[in-house]
Structure 1
């Protein structure tokens, strides 16, 4: 599809829509529209091909657009310069407006003039999209996105000197959705231009300003002083700045053009020192340098900004507003994709939430069956909340802890070295203790051996004592017997020979006998016995 047909498709659709009956139009009506379009393009007789196009006498919009593409617009050059393309668009829009103006102008309380409505119609067709009807996919409609309609409405409100309420427009756009022509015009007239204090001339000037911005791509216009090429005098002109050129006229009526300066990416703008009355600046092109001036510094800044903007957007075969619209469409497509992604995520979250709710219902049923478990879960939940609060507090304290970590680590290393030193000393002490314990065990073993030896000797002594006690008892019995015998012997001696010698011997014998009954030494008893035996032997002699 050619670029020109693409740009005027919305206007042609409105003309087709005003002629259609049950989504088709008779060829006879389309011949008139096709002939007028061909005449504007310097093509004659292009409507005759409709008789042989298709066997039916009625055509749908797709069929009519296909015919225009291949039989009418294909005869044009593939590339058209921007001024020629704009002129063709304007003429074709006027022809389509003549066909559909009656249906598009019908409304209960008109506020805009017919000329202003036509200009708004061109703006609507520029920014709108041709889409398939949601109710009938075989039927097309031209709709305007709420963002694009809001752009036009905001510009109109600013031109009228009113205050723009973006939130109110967002609510209105969300309630209406896509704007068709009737809704778009009704909103502009009823909501923003229904004030009786607004004069009709003010409305016309505001619409003209919109038309210049969106259709003519006028970035800025106003009076400028221009230095002459031959005479170095500053003359005042009405200048109109577009992305492709700066055109200057004798007056604001723009009927007598005095010159045109092409603007492209190779142009530059520079400010010049002012002389107190005129603030000067230069427009430098590859061919020559132009000198302009304004009455104040603020206007010069505005023109410098506008000229730099025009140079930046001068490239391309389409107008600036169409390219801006395409850029907004791309951004809108990205936003719509993001919205779709967000909706998909939201649906996943909704499904997850529903699944969680179902699981929660199951848990609730289980909780009703087991109250104790529910209490445990509640206590666990309370504990988790407390832990969450503690974790939050811990995160807040984390920075402080990190600041103290270095110092604590250094102290820990010092403690570790001290502990290692103490551990070494303890190991030494344990080693000494083990040696002492070993020596003590050896000494204890030696003492135990000595103790056992002493016990053995004690047992031997006890046995010896018992033996000696037995011998002592036997000796005592013998002594007792001996005493008895000695006494009897003494009595006999006294009776038989009572001289002094015998008496003396008897006394010695008696005095030698032990007088005590204690356990004396066994050797003394034996000597006494031997002494007595000696005495007996002497007596016998």
Structure 2
């Protein structure tokens, strides 16, 4: 099987099981054709893979193993040739797992008392599919289950991330009674025992840390000091180590310091410890990449330095693995668990054989004692009869003592059972009270939300009404402003006309004063004077002509002044 097919097999089983409504172990090709088309679109496969499934085999229904074989060799082989590293396959792995989760989530989220959010359940689903194995049930159907050793590892990480102390004995007391951990049982086990009394934010952060550790393959993340390439200074950065790269939580940070968004790791890369020197920064170490690029780092303390060195060594060692790092660790844990079970089985067989040998030896010794007793009884019949009677009495006393002990133990067992029943009843009563309290709080929150919604609607209506009033006021203000400008223009025109009229009046008065100051003309005698034509005209006619012109000019000036005064007075009154 190709690596990508092996990675998505478990999540694909949940999607296949969601399509199998009758739980017969087979699904029609028509439904699988749509699923295959979606997978081809997600992987950007150019050829139409949905047509190939109609030609695959001659039946109308496919089992899960048949469909997985077809999907692996006809679709997933387009992006995975079996030797591709997991760093290149991870985007496809994440996309396909999310698609299969969306197809089967309706059945996986069904539970009576949900504690975890939907995002946390999806993250646990990814972890479950990464570490689970497929097994065959009693009715010859395949099923995805999680072994006890993997459940213990996931539970230990969850309890540790919640800041609690891990109790392995308490775990075994609860988990050993469960035969197989399917995903609903696994989810119920975590919610019922370890997530019941945890706060939602803390539980979300704990599951996120588990997701980053198991699925995102983050071996180490934290803050370190990094020597810049442009100057001999140390800058504090936040980095994370994955089996195929060293990356920063911010791409801009990595680009500014290292010249790239991330640093790819390969088996040719090496990490070196630098001893502390006087006058230099402590806790230094270097990372030498395949391209002979040297990255100088410094941890905050010696413990953190050891963790960074170990994480980088592990990442370099597993940089070209085709499977996720935690999947490889899971295989190792399962092998160790199988070897431990084999050793325990061999030890139990050895103890049973030794017990059989001891029992046979005891039986032979008992037979020899009985034969010797019979021989002695033949010689001493009376002594044997008396001893037999005493022995019978002793046995009856012993039997009586045993019966009394058993009766007392049974009485104690009944009392213990009654105590357990009372405890169970009290726990059940407390659970019901807690449920009623939660329902009451939910109802109060719903009512408060409705009241808040009504208040917000009223506030929006008031705000809209005020906005309308503001717009009307702005319109009126603009209208008044335009009217004011028009009136100001008319006022300025009237003032200019008044000024012009006053200037004309002053000019006329000045001319009149000039006329008054002019000396009167001389008077001549009326004696006849003989004048010839063509001579100078008479002075009297010239004066009369000048007086007529002056009277005419004054009349026009007075009329103009009266008109201007009338217009200005009208404009002022209108203003």
Give the shorter-chain TM-score range. 0.5 to 0.7
How do residues 348-359 of structure 1 correspond to structure 2 at under 5 angstroms?
A: 348-349=353-354, 352=357
Q: Deviations over 1:204-243 (max 9, x none)?
A: 1111111111112211101222222223332332201112
Shift of 1:336: 3.0
Give the match for residue 203 of structure 2.
203
| Total equivalences in the alignment | 371
Give the match for residue 68 of structure 1.
71
Structure 2 residue 306 is matched with structure 1 residue 306: no
Q: Which has the higher contact order (CA 8 A, sep 6+)?
A: 2
How do residues 349-498 of structure 1 correspond to structure 2 at under 5 angstroms?
A: 349=354, 352=357, 366=371, 369-370=374-375
Shift of 1:263: 5.0
Shift of 1:69: 2.8
Q: Tell me which structure has the larger Cα radius of gyration.
A: 1
Shift of 1:11: 0.8
Structure 2 residue 87 is matched with structure 1 residue 83: yes
Give the match for residue 417 of structure 1.
none
How do residues 251-262 of structure 1 correspond to structure 2 at under 5 angstroms?
A: 258-262=261-265
Quote the Cα distance in structure 2 between the aligned partners of 1:262 and 1:292: 16
Shift of 1:251: 7.9
Shift of 1:365: 6.0
Check the 8 A contact 2:3/2:322 in 1, yes or no.
no
Check the 8 A contact 1:154/1:164 in 2, yes or no.
yes
Q: What SS does structure 1 have at the residue aligned with 2:144?
A: strand
How do residues 116-155 of structure 1 correspond to structure 2 at under 5 angstroms?
A: 116-133=120-137, 135-136=138-139, 138-155=140-157
Shift of 1:96: 0.8
Quote the Cα distance in structure 1 between the aligned partners of 2:69 and 2:17: 16
Q: What SS does structure 1 have at the residue aligned with 2:305?
A: helix
User: Against the structure 1 CA distance between its residues 273 and 161, is the aligned structure 2 distance closer, same or farther, given a 3 Å change threshold?
Assistant: same
Give the match for residue 385 of structure 1.
none
Give the match for residue 221 of structure 2.
221
Check the 8 A contact 1:244/1:264 in 2, yes or no.
no
Check the 8 A contact 2:219/2:311 in 1, yes or no.
yes
Counterpart among 257, 261, 264 of residue 267 in structure 2:
264
Q: What SS does structure 1 have at the residue aligned with 2:247?
A: strand
Quote the Cα distance in structure 2 between the aligned partners of 1:264 and 1:152: 29
Quote the Cα distance in structure 2 between the aligned partners of 1:159 and 1:306: 19
Give the match for residue 104 of structure 2.
100
Check the 8 A contact 2:97/2:126 in 1, yes or no.
yes
Quote the Cα distance in structure 2 between the aligned partners of 1:364 and 1:45: 87
Give the match for residue 295 of structure 2.
290
User: Against the structure 1 CA distance between its residues 231 and 59, is the aligned structure 2 distance closer, same or farther, given a 3 Å change threshold?
Assistant: same
Quote the Cα distance in structure 2 between the aligned partners of 1:219 and 1:2: 25
Check the 8 A contact 2:276/2:283 in 1, yes or no.
yes
Give the match for residue 48 of structure 1.
51
Which runs of at least 4 in structure 1 moved beyond 6 Å after TM superposition?
251-257
Quote the Cα distance in structure 2 between the aligned partners of 1:252 and 1:170: 47
Shift of 1:329: 2.3
Tell me the C-alpha RMSD between the 2 structures: 3.1
Q: Deviations over 1:267-312 (max 9, x none)?
A: 1222354758774332233412111233444433332332233334
User: Against the structure 1 CA distance between its residues 343 and 294, is the aligned structure 2 distance closer, same or farther, given a 3 Å change threshold?
Assistant: closer
Give the match for residue 439 of structure 2.
none
Q: What SS does structure 2 have at the residue aligned with 1:9?
A: helix
Quote the Cα distance in structure 2 between the aligned partners of 1:350 and 1:191: 40
Quote the Cα distance in structure 2 between the aligned partners of 1:7 and 1:374: 83
Q: What SS does structure 2 have at the residue aligned with 1:175?
A: coil
Give the match for residue 336 of structure 2.
331
Give the match for residue 113 of structure 1.
117
Shift of 1:90: 0.9
Q: Deviations over 1:185-211 (max 9, x none)?
A: 11111111111xx32221111111111
Give the match for residue 237 of structure 1.
237
Shift of 1:64: 1.4
User: Against the structure 1 CA distance between its residues 272 and 16, is the aligned structure 2 distance closer, same or farther, given a 3 Å change threshold?
Assistant: same
Counterpart among 271, 276, 281 of residue 285 in structure 2:
281
User: Against the structure 1 CA distance between its residues 56 and 365, is the aligned structure 2 distance closer, same or farther, given a 3 Å change threshold?
Assistant: farther
Q: What SS does structure 2 have at the residue aligned with 1:246?
A: strand
Check the 8 A contact 2:227/2:233 in 1, yes or no.
yes
User: Against the structure 1 CA distance between its residues 372 and 42, is the aligned structure 2 distance closer, same or farther, given a 3 Å change threshold?
Assistant: farther
TM-score (structure 1 length as normaliser)? 0.62
Q: What SS does structure 2 have at the residue aligned with 1:229?
A: coil
User: Against the structure 1 CA distance between its residues 67 and 251, is the aligned structure 2 distance closer, same or farther, given a 3 Å change threshold?
Assistant: closer
**Structure 1, 280-289 or 349-358: larger mean CA deviation:** 349-358
Check the 8 A contact 2:161/2:206 in 1, yes or no.
yes
Quote the Cα distance in structure 1 between the aligned partners of 2:111 and 2:306: 44
Shift of 1:371: 5.2
Q: What SS does structure 1 have at the residue aligned with 2:261?
A: strand
Q: What SS does structure 1 have at the residue aligned with 2:83?
A: coil
Give the match for residue 39 of structure 2.
37
Task: Identify unmatched segments of 5+ residues in structure 1.
Answer: 376-541
TM-score (structure 2 length as normaliser)? 0.59
Give the match for residue 19 of structure 2.
19
Shift of 1:131: 1.2
Give the match for residue 440 of structure 2.
none
Quote the Cα distance in structure 1 between the aligned partners of 2:254 and 2:146: 32
